[in-house]
Structure formats: structure tokens, C-alpha cells
Amino acid sequence: MPTLVTGCRGRVGSALVPLLLRAGHSVRAASRAPERLSGPAAALPVGVPVVACDLGDPATFAAALAGVDSVFLYAEPSGIDAFLAAAEAAGVEHIVLLSSSSVLAPDAPDNPIAASHHAVEQALTASPLTTTLLRPGAFATNAHQWSHSVRERGSVDLPHPHSHSSPIDETDLAEAALAVLTEPRLRGGAYHLTGPESLTAAEQVGLLAAATGRPITVNAVSGEAWKESVAAFVPEPIADALLAYMAASEGAPAEVTDEVEKLTGHPARTFAAWAEEHADAFRP
């Protein structure tokens, strides 16, 4: 029976599909815009069945879940109760949730970054379905937010240059998801996933500079200036929460776990390796 992978236009979902196929598992790819998963420009392997599944639209659930025994799920709370009811009716046995380590904070239910993940975790925990929780911290791919300014100006504006995170490579996330989807002994756990080291934002920029072979200047800016620069694509409550997180982690090393290695059998990939692999995105 196939695994339904939701959010296949995302970096983790699109990386997970070929991993499942190579491991000999049947896959059904899902997206709220399935037409964008087809054609020569699509990132998915040719021949993968594609279905519509908008996690906020219960009308799309039954067809997407028919005949499925496991699900890789993104955290969208608006339709989660209906999704779980449809999954139970379809005979789904196991759901793997891509959650966030932000749910571990005391203010998770009210934190704009953590709230959606927390709500979905609560719904899954209360359901009779077997659930596995993947709780990554910062994604290495978040560095793409700097790509435009690096390409155009050779610089990055940072409100807290010395704020720490332990960025995780999206490939490691996909491999961790593969492990918990295909190894019954790993089911039912909650895994806090990080990269192998704590780095400041400025150190990440330095590693991008080394990978691209060109200098990148770090400009320290005020929180208000940074909020204004991201206002077009980051809602104000999220921006405020991000600023608070960056301020709290200024000069404070982020937690590093070995959960990636426990699940995948290899150490987590470094941010330096991620930067080398994605260097072209930061070159003029």
C-alpha cells in the first residue's frame, strides 16, 4: 500500500518521494496544486501518482487517502480533525508529522511560530492513529532568504548577527522521515532533529562566502529595519516572534542532538556542506 506524501512542492516532501521509491515503497504525491507537480519542470520522478490534497479543504481528503497505509504530513491545523477522521476511515495505520522544535518551548500554544505545529501535535496525540513526530529546529534552507541580497549587493542585513541556531539539512530531514516511515521499531516516537553544530547567523554567512568564493558583508541593522525589509512576505506577528527568538539566542549556543544519526545511521550534514551544494543560488 502506498505512502501519501503531502506538501510535495516543498523541499522535504519532494526529497522524500524519490527516497521512498528507491527503497522499494509505493508513493502517492500530494499537493494543494497538483498540476504543478506534473510536466518536465516538476521535481518528482516520472510516473509518481499525483493527487490533490489541500490540508485546509476536507473535500480533498477521501480521494487522497483511499488505499493509503501511511502519511507524511505537514502541520496545517485548520483541517486536521477532518483529516484524521478521513485517515482513520481509510484505514491509515501511521502518520509522520513534520513538526517543529518550537513546540518544546513553554509558550508553544501562543507562540505564532509554534502554535500551528502544537495544535496539530495535540490533535494527533488525541487520535487513535500511531503517530511519529519529527521536530526539526532551523532549516539550512532558511539561508535562501539571504540569496537575493547576496547576489545583488554582496551583503546580508542581520538584526542579531550573533544569534545561534543548529541548522539541519533538508536531505537529513527527508532521510529521517524515510527511516520512521519504513522501520516499524521507530514508530511512535518524538525526535528533536538538529544539524551537527551551533552556528551564529554571521558564521553561516561566512560559510556561504567561503562556498561561493566571494566576500559577503554582514550589516547589523535594527529590528524595526529588518521587519520593514521582510514585511512583504513575513506577517508581523511572525516577524516579532522571530526577532524575539533571535534576541534570546544572541550569544547562546543552540542545542545539538544526535537524533539524525540515530535515525539515518550517519552524522547530520554540516551547514558548510549545504552551502557548497547550494552555492550557485548565492552567486551573481
Q: What angle do CA 273, 37, 23 make, to 5 degrees?
A: 60
For 135, phi then psi, to 5°, come to -120, 80
Q: Are 134 and 173 in contact (CB under 8 A)?
A: yes
Q: What is the mean pLDDT of the chain?
A: 94
Banded pLDDT at 45 (limits 50, 70, 90): confident
Banded pLDDT at 36 (limits 50, 70, 90): confident
Tell me the per-residue pLDDT of 55-72, one tens digit each, with 9 for 90 and over. 999 999 999 999 999 999
- Single out the residue of 40, 12, 46, 44 nearest to residue 29, CA to CA: 44
In a domain, 144, yes or no: no
Question: Average pLDDT for residues 117-131, to the nearest whole number?
Answer: 96
Question: What pTM was estimated for this model as a whole?
Answer: 0.93
| pLDDT at position 88 | 97
CB neighbours of residue 123 within 10 Å: 17
Question: Average pLDDT for residues 140-152, to the nearest whole number?
Answer: 95
In a domain, 232, yes or no: no
CATH value at residue 31: 3.40.50.720
Question: Average pLDDT for residues 27-42, to the nearest whole number?
Answer: 77
DSSP 44: S
| pLDDT at position 233 | 86
Instruction: Name, in order, each residue with C-beta under 8 angstroms of 89's C-beta and a sequence gap of 6 or more.
Output: 62
Please determine, for residue 37, whether its predicted confidence score (pLDDT) is greater than 80.
no
In a domain, 98, yes or no: yes
Tell me the per-residue pLDDT of 193-230, one tens digit each, with 9 for 90 and over. 999 999 999 999 999 999 999 999 999 999 999 999 88
Question: Average pLDDT for residues 235-258, to the nearest whole number?
Answer: 93
| pLDDT at position 33 | 85
Please determine, for residue 39, whether its predicted confidence score (pLDDT) is greater than 70.
no
In a domain, 32, yes or no: yes
Dist. CA 156–CA 145, nearest whole Å: 10
What does the buried/exposed string (b/e) look like for 50-87 if buried means 16 or more CB atoms within 10 Å of the residue's CB? bbbbbbeeeebbeebbeebebbbbbbbbebbebbbebb
Question: Across the strands, what pairs with 95?
Answer: 71, 131
Number of domains in the chain: 1
Pairing mode of beta strands 199-200, 164-165:
antiparallel
Query: Residue 34 is part of which domain span?
Result: 3-136
| pLDDT at position 177 | 98
In a domain, 206, yes or no: no
In a domain, 108, yes or no: yes
In a domain, 279, yes or no: no
In a domain, 94, yes or no: yes
| pLDDT at position 99 | 97
Comparing 164-168, 171-175, 240-244, 264-268, the range with the smallest average pLDDT is 240-244
Banded pLDDT at 40 (limits 50, 70, 90): low
